[in-house]
Structures are given as structure tokens and as C-alpha cells.
Amino acid sequence: MNARTHLHEPTNEGPVLITGGAGFIGTNLATRLLESGRRVVIFDNLSRPGVEANAHWLWHRFGDRVAIEIGDVRDAGRVRGLVAKASQVFHFAAQVAVTSSLVDPRDDFETNLGGTLNVLEAMRVMETPPSLVFTSTNKVYGALDDIALDRAGDRYAPHDETLRSAGVSEARPLDFHSPYGCSKGGADQYVLDYARSFGLPAALFRMSCIYGPHQCGNEDQGWVAHFLRCALRREPITIYGDGRQVRDILFVTDLADAFVRCQARMHELAGRAFNMGGGPSSALSLREVLGTIASLTGRAPQIEYGPWRVGDQRWYVSDTQAFRRATGWAPAVDAQEGIARLHEWLVETTMPSQARVPATSRTHAA
């Protein structure tokens, strides 16, 4: 499929529109929906490394049931035309890195906040708008500097036992740090306000760290995949800070299930924000993830250290109880299994064939 090809949808039942749909999360959600018989339109500018390969993969697997529309969410006219034909919208298109937002705040603003406003405005003028799920971020809660932390071996943990056992809930005050935090936080609030002010059927997830197949991770975003790729290539991994920072990681198929459940219950969930991640049972420090990777690859990754980065949270774990109570959702893939599954996918899809054979199985000439 040529990158400029547009595959147009038939005009019967409206498809599901996924903005940023050739990205890692969009590809996995599209797969879930297409396998269930839904038709999907992917709207993506293909600007991130690896996403064009995801678009090719979707098209070759599902053919004309998936439409690949090349364009930018900042193009209000294109957005309006696609939203008008959709039965559901998942809005993932975004500038995703704090570091990039510090380099070019205007581009970050125009993509994250302006692009989201384009989607909302396209919905607002419709008599019967599609339902919308938007992906916000845990960065709307800021650096969480007020949370007292204890150092417990290779990780940080809150001194407060309730917070340690449950995680950060949606009652946490918002505190935007970095241009990225401001643009995503502003978009977060616009989605909630358009649901309130205009009655739009829209809800959002404030997401922690998502990982899984089709992830083109780098050190700014998608760090679990980035760590694994570096380890498999025997390249050094840079840790910013001391590596004891903790995140609750969530395997992407569990996130896709949460998306589907949210859309199915939109009549109850519209206007709400939910923290979304693996929760306390899937909370790991960077050092602990590196230990798991060493077990999978048979060698310890090479580590280099850099200074703490602006707005970096030393500990963040999602309290997902609100969404669990509302929908019955629960993750099915634990952290160790998920990292192993991502490792297997990376070996199968990115490594030379000789690297896939365990060292103990290789034969050598005498």
C-alpha cells in the first residue's frame, strides 16, 4: 500500500474512526474491532517512526474492511468529514513526548489541544454525534512532589499506606507540568466540558504506561518496548534519575478491552474521566523491569544514567477502581507475562533469524 493511498469506506453503517490509529494503541484497538466484525477508519499523518509499517500490517491483514486516511488532526475540514460518517470515535492523535513539547510548545499545543478541539467541534454540530473516547495522561496530575516517598530497595513507595495499596484516584487535583501536560490537560478538560455543556457522549482515560506489540518505543514514550529493543540490540539504555521511579504498566489488549467497554456503556459514563493503568498489582520500577528483561534475554542490559527530567513523577500508580466498578473491567495480563509476550513479539518481528535461536541450541563447527 502506498502511503498516499486512500481506501474509502462504503456508505452503510458508520465505521469506527480512530485518529492516530496507525500508532501502537490504535493498531491494537483496530485489530480488536476488526476481528469482531466492525469496520474501521484509520486517520493518521504517519509522522512517527514505525506507524507506516503498522498501517501496512492492518491493510494487508484486513483488506478493504479498514480504511487508511492519511491526514493531520489539525486539518479541521478533514476531521469534520470523517467524524460525520463515524458511529464511534477514538481520539488518539497527539504529540506524545514531554521532551518534544519543551522544544516546540506551539506544535504541541496545536496538535494536542487544537486537534482535540477540531474533533469536538465536528461532533458538536451533528444532530446525532458519535460517541467519543479520548486518551488523556497521568501527567495532568503533575510531578506529585507532595507525595512523601520511602525508598524500598529498587523502588519508591508512598509513605501513606492507603495511597500505596490503592494508587492515585480521579479525586487527585489537577496540576499541569510541562507544555505537554498543559496541552493534554487542556484537551482533557475540553472533552469533559463539551460533554457537560453540549451533552456530547464523551469520556476519557488518564493513562499510565501502556505496552505491547506494535509499539515503536523510544526513551521519551513507550519505555518498556524501548528498553527491550535496546537490550535485544545490545545498545545502552539511558535511565533519567536513579531508576527507582515506579509506574503501573498495562498490556495493550487489556486497554483495548477497556475502550470497548467504555463505548458500550457511554450512556452511563459520558462526562467522566477514569485513571487507567495496571494498578498496584502491575506496578514496577524501571530497575525491576530491567531485571525482568535480563532474565528474558540472558544478560543484563548496559545502563547509563542521566539527570531527572522536567515533570518526571518518581511514583505514579493508577487507582482503577472507579472504572472497574462502572464496567466490571479488570486486566487479564500480569506484568511478567506481558513483558514476556512483548519480548517474544520483538524477537519474532525485529531480530535476525539467527538471534531467535537460544544460545544453548546453536551448533558450531569444530
Residues carrying an active site annotation = 180
Q: How far is the C-alpha of 333 from the C-alpha of 344, rounded, in Å?
A: 15
Q: At residue 271, what is the residue type?
A: G
347: Cβ contacts below 8 Å, ≥ 6 apart: 232, 355, 356
Q: Is the dihedral of CA 153, 156, 161, 165 positive or negative?
A: negative
What's the grid cell of residue 227? 528498553
Nearest to 117 by CA among 178, 184, 64: 184
Q: Across the strands, what pairs with 218?
A: 221
Nearest to 107 by CA among 122, 121, 97: 97
Q: Across the strands, what pairs with 304?
A: 238
What's the grid cell of residue 154? 529498587
Q: Across the strands, what pairs with 69?
A: 43
What's the grid cell of residue 352? 535476525
Q: Across the strands, what pairs with 150?
A: 157
Nearest to 254 by CA among 338, 325, 165: 338
The CB-side HSE value for 64 (13 A sphere, CA atoms) comes to: 4
Q: How far is the C-alpha of 38 from the C-alpha of 59, rounded, in Å?
A: 14
